Amino acid sequence: MNTELERFREDGFLVVEDFNSAAECDALIARAAELTAGFDYDGHPSVFQTSEQERTSDEYFLASGDRISFFFEKDAFDARGRLKDDLFHSLNKIGHAMHDLDPVFDRFSRSPQMKRLAAALGLADALIIQSMYIFKHARIGGVVDLHQDATFLYTEPASCVGFWFALEDATVDNGCLWARPGGHRTSLRSWFRRSAAGGTEFVKFDETPLETDGMIPLEVKKGACVVLDGRLPHSSHPNTSGRSRQAYAIHTIDPKAYYPPENWLRRDFAGLAPI
């Protein structure tokens, strides 16, 4: 068994420094800025919050699985619903199909080094089902509560794996990832899905709170890749610094696993491609 696979199976995450070049990171940052400049904001915001997604889900969010959509920070608006800052610095993220719809994100998501890493982890056939560009702007970039990615991309059996790319240095001050080594060896606590009554709901499998003891910061340099098991509880703190912490993430699933139609994110599986 190769060393990368051993570490990933042992810890539930894998940090690979110098995975992408500075030029590759800068190209993605520039493309995100271009996409944002072309976003026609009509005054009806969709806000993204991990812990509040059941309450804040709307049709814009639910239709974003096969589109390039824009989501705001919850603190981006004043009491009258107006943006406190410019559009770019008010956004939380872009999602969820840039990897298939935009050539710059497609190249980054399916780079030669991604193919090599996926093969080393036994994920050469894994399908990329979701992508997110995460801004984490200075002083407004909000908390991402402790969660498991498999909650949001549920398959039977569990097969979700995330790849998180640092486009800028990620530190404790500007909101790096936090995780506990070995924390993936636990049960999946819930499933975020579409409700038969409309909207979304969390279906609880296990009421036991996710463990926070032993969480460590995953401080990484620009260009690093962090691989995350779908059951690994992880989080990030607010960005209290004067520097942004832009990042990009993709999530994969096993093409042989069952992907329930109740999942919030819907894609035409005939159009999905592997890494």
138-162 confidence digits (pLDDT tens) = 988 999 999 999 999 999 999 999 9
Residue 273 resides in a domain: no
Range of the domain at 82: 3-268
Using CB atoms within 10 A of its CB, is residue 80 exposed (0-12), middle (13-18) or buried (19+)? exposed
Residue 86 resides in a domain: yes
Q: Which residues of the chain have pLDDT under 70?
A: 1, 43-45, 48-57
pLDDT recorded at residue 247: 98
pLDDT recorded at residue 59: 87
Please give the tally of structural domains in the chain: 1
pLDDT recorded at residue 44: 63
- Peptide bond connecting 157 to the previous residue in cis, omega within 30 degrees of 0: yes
Q: How far is CA 241 from CA 47, 149, 170, in A?
A: 22, 26, 11
CATH number at residue 42: 2.60.120.620
Residue 275 resides in a domain: no
CA atoms of 90 and 127, how far apart (whole Å): 31
Instruction: Write down the pTM of the prediction.
Output: 0.94
Q: Phi and psi (nearest 5°) for 166?
A: -80, 110
